[in-house]
Amino acid sequence: MHNKNAVYFANNVDVDSEEQLPGTMFLKRVTFDYIKRNNIKPKQLEILRDAFGNNTIRNYFNNFEVLKMEFFRRKEIRHWIESIDSTNGIFYYRWGDAVLRYLTLALFAEQHEVLHRVDYNFPYCHKCR
């Protein structure tokens, strides 16, 4: 990560669905309202556009992740997270760390700053037999 100036090493991409977690899709409106209100130019616009499906939202399967804490402590990222926190969506709709991490990186991290496990052929097994 250091050699590549990366801020995040991601595991697989996963999805949450409105059916499983009612209120999940409210996060789309909250995210785009935040972008407009704060004049944010998302660093990974394509990833952000792909984040939201008809009734799904992408996230990083984050039971394995490596991150650069300095990045996540930046003022603009703290402001984003505080804004999300003020909606109470974390409590009402169970907007979890995985989906918030995915959106945070789409908004504030350049593509080259996010590494993906599958690109490095690192094996990973959750609940393997």
User: pLDDT tens digits for 9-63?
Assistant: 999 899 999 999 999 999 999 999 999 999 999 999 999 999 999 999 999 988 8
Residue written as token pair 């972008």: 35
**What is the percent of the chain with per-residue pLDDT over 70, rounded to a whole number?**
95
**94 dihedral zone (left: phi>0; alpha: psi -120 to 50; beta):** left
* Tens-place pLDDT, residues 95-123: 999 999 999 999 999 999 999 998 988 87
**pLDDT at residue 77 greater than cutoff 90:** yes
Residue written as token pair 């926190």: 85
How crowded is the C-beta side of 45, counted as CA atoms within 13 Å? Answer: 2
| In the chain, domain spans | 22-120
**pLDDT at residue 82 greater than cutoff 60:** yes
Closest CA to 8 of 91, 111, 95: 111
pTM confidence score? 0.92
Contact 46, 39 (CB under 8 A): no
